[in-house]
Amino acid sequence: MNLRASEGPRQPEPTPELNELYRSFEDELLVPLWTEIGDLMPPSPRPQAQAHTWRWANLLHLAERSGTLVPVGRGGERRAIALANPGLGGAPYATPTLWAAIQYLNPREDAPVHRHSQHAFRFVVEGQGVWTVVDGDPVAMRRGDFLLTPGWRFHGHHNQSGTPMAWLDGLDIPFSHYVGSGFSEHGPDAVEDHSTPALSRSERLWAHPGLRPVSQPGSSGSSPIAAYRWEHTDAALHDQLELEAEGHPGVVEAGHAAVRFTNPTTGGDVMPTIRAEMHRLRSGVTTAARREVGSSVWQVFEGAGAVEVGSRRWDVERGDLVAVPSWQPMTITAGTSLDLFRFADTPIFESLHAARVHVDGDHS
């Protein structure tokens, strides 16, 4: 049932006594439900966040400028520049729950070691040469890789190469900030282990398909895999589309392959607050309009196409980012073969039994 003020009992005519009553509410910091109910209990979500697109070329240019003008070190902690959703009053929030930022390190630079309760990941749309050291384990960052820094692990980054590197950070900072659940502390000012292994110890222990070390307990909170490598993600997407061509199931819809990054000890999402996926569309494919409770951010990894969110439509290309507010319908059209990275706050809503999905034309 839709709750609207106009359908409720008629509001009384204004009188001096009624005005006095409303003034008294204000004085006592009280708000009556009957004047607010339309906004508080809409028939379906009306998020304050807006659909919006940020261009990678512009982000990279400003990150490079920051690289020449702003040092990275203790205090500021990171040369990270956050996407600020136009509906969220200038706060550094891509969506009400999700932080998305471009982070930039010059050649030979270190970002100091710290830890925080907020969960973090990195996604690399281009470049290489930085190692992120998570609880002492150096993890190489290369194009297409998805890397985890779950909450409360010490981490610093170091650029061991002669070229700058930029990447996408995603965290649950806004969620943690709204609900007042954040803790943090400093570690050493520089990364202690500057070694450059191709594979982290975490991957050598955990990242073999379908296999887990018998010695290790499961971890229901966050995945123990520090890096999900592009070669594996790419192969999984490639095989889904090839199976489709051979007449076998696997794709989410015609011409649309997708994989979710998972915690191998649970099969669930990589971290308690963040879901992450990689999608591949065949050239010419348009996805069914889909809406979900909760918000997400997409980044084009390769190719070009168009993204429609609600009444907005943008042409997008490599690196471009799109914020998708709760319950707004989204469709993607691939102008070329199109790879997209996506992260979302869905695990929060699934934990709370508040998740909903609607896909146009899907009556199952």
Sites of contact with ligand GTQ (CB under 6 A): 77-78, 80, 101, 103, 116, 120, 155, 169, 171
Whole-number Å distance between alpha carbons of 11 and 170:
46
Is 183:119 a contact under the CB 8 Å cutoff?
no
Is 233:280 a contact under the CB 8 Å cutoff?
no
What's the DSSP call for residue 179?
Answer: H
Whole-number Å distance between alpha carbons of 258 and 344:
14
Whole-number Å distance between alpha carbons of 295 and 175:
11
Nearest CB to ligand GTQ, comparing residues 101 and 125: 101
Nearest CB to ligand GTQ, comparing residues 80 and 241: 80
- Rounded to the nearest whole angstrom, what is the least distance from the CB of residue 184 to ligand GTQ in the complex? 8
- Rounded to the nearest whole angstrom, what is the least distance from the CB of residue 192 to ligand GTQ in the complex? 16
- Rounded to the nearest whole angstrom, what is the least distance from the CB of residue 146 to ligand GTQ in the complex? 14
Give the residue carrying structure tokens 């930085």: 130
Please classify residue 114 by burial: count the beta carbons closer than 10 Å to its beta carbon, then call 0-12 exposed, 13-18 middle and 19+ buried: middle
Using alpha carbons, select from 324, 328, 228, 243 the residue that is nearest to residue 277. Answer: 228
Nearest CB to ligand GTQ, comparing residues 160 and 328: 160
Using alpha carbons, select from 223, 264, 262 the residue that is nearest to residue 134. Answer: 223
Nearest CB to ligand GTQ, comparing residues 111 and 340: 111
Nearest CB to ligand GTQ, comparing residues 274 and 281: 274
Nearest CB to ligand GTQ, comparing residues 66 and 331: 66
Whole-number Å distance between alpha carbons of 288 and 304:
18
